[in-house]
Amino acid sequence: MPPNNKKPPNKKGRTDLRQIGLLGTIPFLIGVGPLVGYFIGGWLDDKFGTDPILMIVFLGLGLAAAIKETVRIIKEASRDSEK
């Protein structure tokens, strides 16, 4: 039986790809979070006749959620780079 000459996978490369994937989602989050809040708030404004109060509130909530998730992703990526 021939010896197994396969090297173990490079963990550094795998970590780099994981960080690229994590950090690559940030622009998507920053764009989509407020956009979803805007549309939900606009729909609720039409439903309840509170134009533009709920749209502004949900736009702010979408932005806050996007920022919170961005901070979480950056912390996770930096924690992975320390390993």
Residue 8 lies in a domain: no
Q: Is the pLDDT of residue 3 over 70?
A: no
Q: How many domains does the chain have?
A: 1
- For residue 14, being part of any structural domain is answered with no
Secondary structure (3-state) at 23: helix
Assess if residue 13 is contained within a domain. Answer: no
Structure tokens at 17: 């790809």
pLDDT value at residue 37: 98
Average pLDDT over residues 63-82: 92
pTM for the full predicted model: 0.77
- Condensed to tens digits (0 to 9), the pLDDT of residues 54-66 reads 999 999 999 999 9
38, part of any domain: yes
Residue 10 has pLDDT above 60, yes or no: no
User: Per-residue pLDDT for 24 more than 90?
Assistant: yes
DSSP of 24-66, one letter per residue? HTHHHHHHHHHHHHHHHHHHHHHHHT-TTHHHHHHHHHHHHHH
Q: Say yes or no to pLDDT of 26 above 90.
A: yes
